[in-house]
Chain A
C-alpha cells in the first residue's frame, strides 16, 4: 500500500506495483482486494507486468505471491524472466509460487468442469505461504476450455467471490484480447466485472515495435488518461508515466566550464550545473569536438562523465579527438570517463532511454554527453523519439547532471532543428554551428542562439580547430558580410598594419610637437634674458638720471649760496616742489640709492 497522494481524489485503497511509471499513472497502483484485468495482444507485455508486480511485492514489501500459469509453462516464464535482474531463484524458495495450470494438449475433455478444485488448491497454498498477490496469467485459455458462455460467467464469478472471501491484496488477470476481437465470448462481461482494466499494445511504428500501456477503466479512482510508452530494461518493464505537472527542479546558480575559456565568456561564465545544452549543426561542424572538449574539461575538474555516442566506436572518437588536442584516454583509464557507443539500427527510442538510464545509474555521472541525440530518430517514429529526448532531458535535470547533446540538422538554418527533435525548446542553452563559405573557403561559425538565465554573447565567432584544441576568434564584418578564415586573417593583418601606422604617425607627431615645445621654451628663455638685460639697463639709466639730478641741484644750491640770492620767488612754482622733495627726503634718497642695486640683484 502506498499513501494516497495529496490532491488526487482517492476512494479506493491501492497496492503499489512498484513498476516505474505505473503507480504514477494509476495514482497508486492496482485496486486492493479487487481484480485487475490486463488485456492485450500476444507479446504486449501483460505477463511481464503481472510477474513484475509479484516480484516487486515480494522483494520490496515481503508480500508473497502466487502465479497461476494457464498459458505458458512456469519453467518457460522463469526462463523468459531470467533476462531481468529479479533474482527469481531466491524468490521461488519462499516468496513466489508458480502453479502450472496448463492443461496438456493430451487432456481429454469430457463434459463440464469447474474451478472449485483449483481455488481450493490455491487457498491451501495461499495459507501455507501467506500469499497476498495472485496472478491468473492467460485466463482466456482457461475460459475458452469452458466452451460455454454461461459456464464462463459462472466461473468468473466463482473466482471473484473466492478472492473477496480470501482477502487477496491484489488479483491480476491477464487475457489475450486484441482490440475488440476476443476468443472469450464473455469478454464484455469480464471487462465489466473487473474493477480495473489495463490495455497493452504492441505495434509497429516505422518498423520498430512500440509498446504502449493505457488504463481504460479504474472503478472509483482517477487515473492518467492516455497511452504511455513502455520499455523493457534490466529491471523489467518501465513506463514513461505522466510527468508531474509541476516541475520541481532546483536551479543551480553554480557554473561549470563549457570546455574552454572563450566559449565560457560567450556564455556569460559557463554552463549552469544541471542545465542542458544543445549543439546543432550540419555534419562536420565540430559538434563532436566541442562535446569532447566539454567532457575533457569535466574530467579535468574530477567530475564523473558519461560520453554516449551513436554509430561510432568510442575508440575512434577518442583517436579523432586526440588530433585536435583533446585527450580523453587518461580519464577513460582512470574510470572517471565512461564511453558508450550504441547502435541505432532497429532500436526503438524507448530502448535507448532505458539504456541511458541504466548507464546513468551505473556510472553516476555529473556531466554527460550524447553525440548525436538525433540518432535516436533513426529507427521508429519521430513522435516516440521526441518523447524520449524530452524525458531524457528531464531525467538528467532531476539528477542534476549537466548535459550536452548534439543534433544534426540537415539544412543550415537553425530554425529547421525545431521540426526535428524539438528539444531546442527544453534545452537551456542552444549553440549553433554552421559553415560560412566566402572567399573560396569554408569556415566554421559558432553562434549562441539562446542561453537561459545568462548574459550571453550575441556575436558570431569563428571556431578554429588546431592541435591545441578548439578556439574562438573574433569575426569581422565588412560591408554587411562576416569575414572568416583567410579573409578574416587578411582583415586582421590590415587592421594590425593600420594600427602600426597609426602608432608610428602618432609617435612622429608627438616628437615634432615635443621639439616645437622645446623650441618655444628656448625662445622664451632667450626673451627672458633680453627682458632682464633691458630691466638692468633701465635701472642703470634711472640711477644715472638721479645722480645727474642730485648733482645739478647741489650745483644750484651752491650757486645760490654763492650769490646769496633769493630767487625762490622768481623761480617757477613748478620747480618749487621738486626742489622741496629732494631736501625733505634727503635720507631716503640715500637709502634709495642703496636699495636700487639690491633690487637689481634680485631681478
Chain B
C-alpha cells in the first residue's frame, strides 16, 4: 500500500534528498484520518515529489506493525535520510513534524 504524492506547485524549504516515510494508521480512526491529511499537506508544501510514503493500516497488518516496533497510532517513521525518526500523534503540530523529517523551516 504505497502512495506516492507529487505536487510540483509546492513552495517553501524542501528536503535535499528523497525522504522515505512509513505512516501507521488505523483505518478510519479520527486521529488516523487527521494524520493522513496533515502529512499530505506537509508533503505537498515541503517535499514536492521528493519523497516515498508508505501508509500501513495496522488493523490490516498488525503483525507487520508489531515487527516494526510501533506502539501507538498514528505513528510516522522516517527511515531515510538518516537518522531515522518517529513522530506519534495526528501530526497536527507541523513544526515538530518538519523537525523530525529533517526539514528546517
Contacts and interface: CB of A to CB of B under 8 A. Distances in A.
Interface string A75-119: 000000000000000000000000111111011111111111110
A125 interface: yes
Contact of B85 (A102, A106, A116): A106
Interface string B71-88: 111110000000001111
Contact of A111 (B29, B71, B91): B91
Interface string B27-40: 00101101100100
Nearest to A101: B71
Given A108-B88, A111-B91, 4 more contacts: A108-B85, A109-B87, A111-B89, A116-B58
Given A117-B70, A117-B75, A107 B59 contact: no
A120 interface: yes
A111 B66 contact: no
B72 A103 contact: yes
B59 A112 contact: no
B58 A121 contact: yes
Contact of A116 (B29, B92, B94): B29
Contacts of B71: 101-103, 117-118
A145 B100 CA distance: 18
Nearest to B97: A110
A478 to B, nearest CB: 87
A100 B93 CA distance: 26
Q: By CB atoms of chain B within 10 A, which of A102, A104, A120 has the most?
A: A120
Contacts of A121: 58, 62-63, 65-66, 70
B92 to A, nearest CB: 3
Q: By CB atoms of chain A within 10 A, which of B71, B91, B97 has the most?
A: B71
B93 to A, nearest CB: 4
Given A100-B69, A103-B71, A120-B26, A113 B88 contact: yes
B86 A113 contact: no
B90 interface: yes
Interface string A118-136: 1011011100100000000
B73 A117 contact: yes
A154 to B, nearest CB: 11
A120 B90 contact: no
A116 B26 contact: yes
Contacts of B26: 114, 116-117, 120
A545 B73 CA distance: 163
Contacts of A120: 26, 58-59, 62, 65
B89 A116 contact: no
Interface of A: 99-104, 106-118, 120-121, 123-125, 128, 142, 145
Q: By CB atoms of chain B within 10 A, which of A100, A118, A123 has the most?
A: A118
Contacts of B25: 117
Interface of B: 24-26, 29, 31-32, 34-35, 38, 58-59, 62-63, 65-66, 69-75, 85-94, 96-97, 99-100
Nearest to B89: A111
A121 B32 CA distance: 16
A112 B31 contact: yes
Given A111-B90, A125-B63, A128-B63, A118 B73 contact: yes
Contact of B34 (A111, A128, A145): A111
A124 B63 contact: yes
A37 to B, nearest CB: 21
A421 B99 CA distance: 65
Nearest to A155: B72
Contacts of B85: 106, 108
In the A-B complex, the 3 residue pairs with the smallest Cβ-Cβ separation, listed nearest first, are A117-B73, A111-B92, A124-B62
A444 B96 CA distance: 83
Contact of A118 (B72, B87, B100): B72
B62 A113 contact: no
A111 B33 CA distance: 13
Contact of B99 (A99, A108, A117): A108
A114 B29 CA distance: 9
A107 B69 contact: no
A17 B29 CA distance: 36
A112 B96 contact: no
A360 B15 CA distance: 69
Nearest to A151: B31
A112 B89 contact: yes
Nearest to B91: A110
B69 A109 contact: no
Given A103-B88, A112-B92, A113-B73, A124 B97 contact: no
A455 B63 CA distance: 74
A114 B66 CA distance: 16
A170 to B, nearest CB: 22
Given A113-B72, A116-B73, A117-B75, A123 B86 contact: no
A125 B58 CA distance: 13
16 contacts: A101-B71, A103-B88, A107-B88, A108-B88, A108-B99, A110-B88, A110-B92, A111-B35, A111-B89, A112-B89, A114-B26, A117-B73, A120-B26, A121-B66, A124-B63, A128-B63
A111 B71 CA distance: 15
A128 B32 CA distance: 26
A145 B88 CA distance: 10
B86 A107 contact: yes
Contacts of A103: 71-72, 88
Contacts of A112: 31, 89-90, 92
Given A108-B97, A109-B88, A116 B59 contact: yes
Q: By CB atoms of chain B within 10 A, which of A109, A117, A145 has the most?
A: A117
B90 A117 contact: no
B66 A125 contact: yes
A124 B25 CA distance: 16
Contacts of B65: 117, 120-121
Nearest to B71: A101
B9 to A, nearest CB: 25
Contacts of B69: 100
